[in-house]
Structure 1
Amino acid sequence: MTTVTTRAVEYPADGLTMTGHLALPAGTGRRPAVLIGPEGMGLGPVERRRAEALAELGYVALAFDLHGGRYLGDPGEMLARCMPLLADPDRMRDVGRAALDVLRAEPRTDPARVAAIGYGTGGAVALELGRDGADLRAIGTVNGLITGRPGEAARIRCPVWAGVGSEDPIMPPAQREAFTAEMQDAGVDWRLTVYGGALHAFHHPPVDHAAPPGVGHHPRHARRAWRDVVDLLDECLPVTP
């Protein structure tokens, strides 16, 4: 198994001191890098494992923080924090840009070869980075199909892949259609994968606290969605020896 090293990195964003999880692949040379955005609950073990799995594949990976080092397991508290954030594209961009700057500044990162992926709120942040014109090679979002301000999707400079559960009440067909229309009208190279029978956050393993209605794990589709993310990175950001 490839040796992966990890460390916590602190940086300011959104008026908070964020603590991200950086995972580095073996070796000393520069590698393509991936920014990973968490679900609305915030950075937790699932996102840390994803960063480490990408480092195993040869990427520098940074799972970024949303809540100043806190994990919001209470749905009410999470929504009170995330809904205003999701309604404010400039705040989302600030959160994403701060983490992206940290990732680009890492000596192992090839700053010209960076992608952003995310889940839920973290996926919406990844999309806003694209709408802000960030220099990214790929954007992937699961459950984060938030439409942006009119015309700004034209700034997206890379392929976009999105995944969503067919039974997700938070991202219903009307939201999916608005998102795909936005991407198409902007001339973006986009793809949407709909996972049949899956609810919101289907990719996330079961949690030890109460899940809101419409949220549920789907193990088979969770594996497929991860493979789809890896395939996106392999296509747009291949790791070379």
Structure 2
Amino acid sequence: MTIATRTVEYPADGLTMVGHLALPSGADLRPAVLIGPEGPGLNDFQWLRADALAELGYVAFAFDHNGGRWFSDPAEMLAYLTPLLADPGRMLAMGRAALDVVRAEPRTDPERIAAVGYGTGGAIALELGRDGADLRAIGTINALTTGRPGGATRIRCPVWAGVGSEDPIMPPAQRDAFAAEMQDAGVDWRLVVYGGALHAFHHPTDGQVVLPGVGYHARHADRAWRDIVALLDECVPVARE
């Protein structure tokens, strides 16, 4: 399928965010997917996720949470992300700004929007859900963040989460806390643990900030992508010609 792409600049958190929009061919309404990147930010790898979803027939928007920056220094990245991840209100505002971009796209079916996020981008997607955003699915990898008490009761869609079994940043205690939050709130949730995988197992490490406990796992990266596509096909299917 032929796709069209463009850069979209938009304001959020006092910054100019720089996102990547990918559109399938045609002029009809299509389901849309927000794609939230991991901590270092957006680069070609994340853009290609949006392009791959557009090739499947989705309006896909890879949003930004770093003001157009790609962090190559771990200390600088953590100095920026640590207070962000501790502030649900800031994350929610970033998510709402990205959601506004998708809703403003004429090709988007406003009744069929999903959010997929990796790491920090996944935490932002979950905050959208906890705010009661009208999403049809939320998928996260390496983002088993928990919210404020009672927040998950406002999630209106299925939640799928993936994590590596050896991820020291999202250890078993965090998995249990996330599962308890989802279960107590009555969310339709799933958690897939990929055996032997570390944090950010889905992302090749070339050019990426590499922290202890981070490592690429090619086989599980492919599996996790297929699981995400299956979630979208279940919750926001594209009509096949």
TM-score class normalised by the smaller sequence = over 0.9
Distance between the aligned counterparts of 2:153 and 2:142, measured in 1?
21
The aligned residue for residue 33 of structure 1 is 32
Q: What SS class does the counterpart of residue 92 from structure 1 fall into?
A: helix
- Residue identity matched to 2:225: W
Question: Displacement of 1:206 after TM fit?
Answer: 1.9
The aligned residue for residue 105 of structure 1 is 104
- Show the 5 A alignment for 1:163-178: 163-178=162-177
Distance between the aligned counterparts of 1:209 and 1:120, measured in 2?
13
Structure 2 unpaired stretches of 5+? none
The one-character-per-residue Cα deviations of 1:101-140 (angstroms, maximum 9, x if unpaired) are 0001100000110000000000000000000100000000
- Residue identity matched to 1:24: L
Distance between the aligned counterparts of 2:150 and 2:66, measured in 1?
29
Distance between the aligned counterparts of 1:190 and 1:31, measured in 2?
25
Contact 1:37 1:64 in 2 (8 A): yes
The one-character-per-residue Cα deviations of 1:166-192 (angstroms, maximum 9, x if unpaired) are 000000000000000000000000000
- Relative distance call for 1:168 and 1:18 in structure 2 (3 A) is same
The aligned residue for residue 68 of structure 1 is 67
- Residue identity matched to 1:124: A
- Residue identity matched to 2:76: E
The one-character-per-residue Cα deviations of 1:30-83 (angstroms, maximum 9, x if unpaired) are 100000000000111111000000000000000001111111121111111111
Contact 2:40 2:208 in 1 (8 A): no
- Once the two structures are overlaid, the 10-residue window that deviates more, 70-79 or 57-66, is 70-79
Structure 1 unpaired stretches of 5+? none
Question: Displacement of 1:207 after TM fit?
Answer: 2.0
- Show the 5 A alignment for 1:14-163: 14-163=13-162
Question: Displacement of 1:209 after TM fit?
Answer: 5.2
Question: Displacement of 1:146 after TM fit?
Answer: 0.3
Distance between the aligned counterparts of 2:192 and 2:66, measured in 1?
29
Contact 1:55 1:61 in 2 (8 A): yes
Q: TM-score if structure 2 supplies the norm length? A: 0.98
The aligned residue for residue 224 of structure 1 is 223
- Residue identity matched to 1:27: G
Contact 2:40 2:209 in 1 (8 A): no
Q: What SS class does the counterpart of residue 170 from structure 1 fall into?
A: coil
Distance between the aligned counterparts of 1:208 and 1:23, measured in 2?
23
- Relative distance call for 1:63 and 1:210 in structure 2 (3 A) is closer
Question: Displacement of 1:208 after TM fit?
Answer: 2.8
- Once the two structures are overlaid, the 10-residue window that deviates more, 71-80 or 117-126, is 71-80
